[in-house]
Structure formats: structure tokens, C-alpha cells
Structure 1
Amino acid sequence: MHLNHFADSAALNKQFAAQLVEILQQAISQRGEAILVVSGGRTPQALFQQLSQADLAWDKVTITLADDRWLADDQADSNERLVKASLLQNRAANAKFISLYAKADSAFTGVTAVLPRIAVLPTFDAVILGMGEDGHTASLFPCSEQINEGLAEDAPAVLAVKPSTAPYERISLSKSRLENTRHLFLHLVGAGKKTVLDQAMADNDVKSMPIRAFLQHPQLTVEVMYAEH
């Protein structure tokens, strides 16, 4: 884990967007395509808006989510809706987006439709994770019955999750799929998130705080992008 501490979120977003553009440009130059995995929530919206205006061959970029609630993209709490409204705009409107949602009554019946979309993707170029106050990341919730499956090394690329402490069924990329990336970031804003980060680094019980599986990964270095406000 490498902590990048910024004066404020504006400085963080400026540097982070530039770093992501460089990563994506390099991927396009070397392999002809780039794959970016993002997270939902309020924290990344300003970053997404800045990134959407970058001068980049966006038609060669594929974007998907680390997780989403099992909601259609016209629902207010859909991460897909947020990404389409804040990232897939301006120049980035030309990017390809892979949805984690399918028309099914439940994430547990719909996961079979979503799985092939993600399983066929090569190594990601960049993954941006978030973190909850309970130490969850993506929808790998410590409170869920699916946490063992989500953290398993032989887990499928995506899985359905039903957290007991948060609303909605979820669809989430597994730890093994998320860590199959060239660059891994954790985007945090707020003093409270720094407290949770310190707690996560103070122990190694990954089931109680799943973010530890990434922060303490033996091969990957997580670049933590943090600003207090």
C-alpha cells in the first residue's frame, strides 16, 4: 500500500485524472485497447467529470463497474446511472460500457447473464476501488453470506451478493477478478475514511474487513488516493 495524501479533493482529482489518462493511453499504444474499472458513490463524481473531458481515444476504452446494486439504470441508486451521467459524457461518451445488470428478478438469477461479459475480459489496466466504513469494497461485504466466495482465489469473475447491513441485492466482481489488473487504486475522501484505512492496516483478518485483501496483497501495490476534504 502506498498512501498519496493530497491537500484537498480538487488537487487529488487533477492528479488522479492525469494519472489515469496516462495509464489508458499507454494501454492503447501497447495493446490497442484499455480497460478501466470504476466504483460508484458520491466520491468519484468530480473525478469522473474531469476524466470525461480528457483528450483520449475513448472509442478504444472499455469501462465497467467494480459492483452495482441490482437496479435498472433509471433508478436513483444505480451505479450505472451515475457513471453514465458523470463519466460517459463529453469526449468519454465514445467509450464502451459493460453493464453489470440484466433483466432478471434477482441478482442471483441474473448473474449467469452478467458473468460472461466480465469473464472474457483480459487483464484490467486500472481498477478504482472505494471503501465503506465497515471495510467493504466493491460489494464484498463482511456481513454477507457470500463473503467467502467473493474472497476465494478460485471465485468466478462476478457473484451475486445480499448484504445484511445495506439495501439491495448486489452484483460484484470477485477479489480474484479485481486484482487481475495492472494498476489498483483506492479512492478515499474524508477524515473518517483515513480512520478506517488505519484500522484496516492494523490487522490482517480479511473477512472482517475485506479491503485488507487488497491493501495487504503480496504482489499488488494499492495506490491510495486520499484527501481529507
Structure 2
Amino acid sequence: MGERGVDRTDFSTPQDLAHSLADAVANALREAMRERGGATLAVSGGTTPVRFFEALSAQDLDWSKVSVTLVDERYVPPSSDRSNERLARMHLLRGPAETAHLIPLYSEADSVEVAAQRADLRMLEILFPIDVVVLGMGHDGHTASFFPDAENLEELLDPLTRQAVFAVHAVSAGEPRLTLALARIASARMLVLHIEGSEKRDVLNAALAAPEARLPIRRVLDAAETTPIIYWAPSQEA
């Protein structure tokens, strides 16, 4: 166990991390299928999870019993290079994992708020709590789309909210976003933070050492209903 009740594992390379994390997530999904008849997985976007996605996609699972959704999403269509859905389809939902059921956050709508309402209804397809949530983290300490300057940050981080998906507006985000609420992330049966590089390691260490800063990542880890698991490796060009 690490400080303040987190498990931390450091790896020599991103490749080692990706394969170890894929094994751990696959085992958790298998256990969920044995216990619940199916499994749910929520994943994050960006460049960091690509190796992990590709390693997980090759795992021997009954993928037809796995529902996959996104922790957050830019309000862009899946044809966009910035789309997390596109990233998941390209690198995770392929090969053996092609039969998994994807529950996207994005839909074409008059506004991101309407899209959030639609995504919230789609979450009825998921048996909560989510079995595995894999988070990333930005250099500003945000995770999911919990940006420090989000207009509705306290609403997003309300542990008692019944809403599963919210729209997010934050200057630092660059564009509107959709995100799972803290309540849905923190209740995960397995909650993982996957980060790479010394800068992100330092941001995380600072967040854990100084709770008064209350960076979003710290607030999520504090709210977790199971022991959060942190996977870290040095950064490396993809």
C-alpha cells in the first residue's frame, strides 16, 4: 500500500506497464463475468493509453459480454482525430475485442448539453457500479473532464449526484466536453490511474502530499470506494 491508501506500481517502460495493466484489467473483467454474467469497462483518451488498449484487445476474453464506455469525450464526432471514441475503436475494439459493446458519450445534437442528456440515458445500459475504470491525468491535475476551471466543477464532483453524464465547459479544455460524473467513477469496483512521464508523476505526488490544493485528481482518489491503483512508467515516444 502506498501513501493515503493508494497502491502504486512503477514500470521501467510503457510497454511493460501496458501489458501488466492489460493482464490486471482482463482478470477483473473475467471475475466480473463470473459474478455478474457480464462486465463493464470505462476507458480514457489521449495518447497515453494506446499501448494498453492494444495489449488489452488481444486478451482472451468473451468480449461479447463486455460493455465499454468512455470516461470522457470531446464534443466532436468519431470521425475527428480528437475523438476518444475513435481512439477506442482503432486501438481497443479490434481483433478479439471487436465484439465488445461500445456505449459512446457523443451524439450529434443541438448542444453539448443535449448530447449529455442522451448519453445519460444510454448509461441505463450499464450495470453499475462499473467493473473497471481506467483514468488518465493532465499536467494541471485534471482527470476525466474535471478541469480545475470547469464552470460546473462542484456539480461534477458531487458524490451524491444521480446524473451519470455531464456537459463541461472550461477554457483550459479548449472545447466543450462530456464526462462521467465523479459518483460513477468513484464507485468503480477497480479504479486505475495510468500516467506516464516525470511531470505527471510530480503533479500526482504534489496532489497526494498537499490535500489543501484539492486538485481534481486528488478529489477523485479520495472519493474512491476501493483502493485506487496507480500505474506509472517513464514517458516514451509512441
Output the TM-score relative to the length of structure 2: 0.92
Give the structure with the higher percent helix. 2
CA 1:71 to 1:151, structure 2 compared with 1: closer, same or farther past 3 Å?
A: same
Distance in 1, matches of 2:121 and 2:151, equals 23
Aligned amino acid, residue 79 of structure 2: D
- Show the counterpart of 1:192: 199
Q: Which amino acid aligns with 1:50?
A: A
The answer to whether the Cα contact below 8 Å between 1:214 and 1:222 also exists between their aligned partners in 2 is: no
CA distance in 2, matches of 1:173, 1:124: 11
Deviation at 1:82, TM superposition (A): 0.5
Q: 1:74 and 1:205 mapped to 2: Cα distance? A: 41
Q: Which residue identity is paired with 1:99?
A: P
Task: Give the C-alpha shift of residue 18 in structure 1.
Answer: 0.7
Structure-2 separation of matches of 1:218 and 1:161: 21
**Residues 1:163 and 2:170 aligned together:** yes
2:148 aligns with 142
Deviation digits for residues 90-143 of structure 1, max 9, x if unmatched? 100000000101121321122111111125522111000000111110001111
Structure 1 contact 200–211 (Cα < 8 Å) conserved: yes
Give the letter for the 1:188 counterpart.
Answer: I
* 1:101 matched residue in structure 2: 106
Moved more, 106-115 or 61-70: 106-115
> Retained in 2: the 8 A contact 1:201–1:215?
no
Matches within 5 A, 1:74-223: 74-119=79-124, 121=126, 122-155=128-161, 156-205=163-212, 208-217=214-223, 219-223=225-229
Q: In the alignment, is the contact (CA less than 8 A) between 1:158 and 1:173 conserved in 2? A: yes
Identity %: 37
Unaligned runs of 5+ in 2: 1-5
Runs of 4+ in 1 over 6 A off after TM superposition: none
Give unmatched runs, 5+ long, in structure 1.
Answer: none
Alpha-carbon shift at residue 80 of structure 1 (Å): 0.4
Q: Measure how far apart 1:205 and its partner are.
A: 4.0
Counterpart CA distance in 1 for 2:180 and 2:79 is 22
Aligned length: 228
- Give the root-mean-square deviation of aligned CA atoms: 1.3
Residues 29-64 of structure 1 deviation map (CA, whole Å, 9 limit, x = unaligned): 111100001000000001101111111100000000
Verify: 1:40 aligned to 2:48, yes or no: no
Match of residue 27 from structure 2? 22
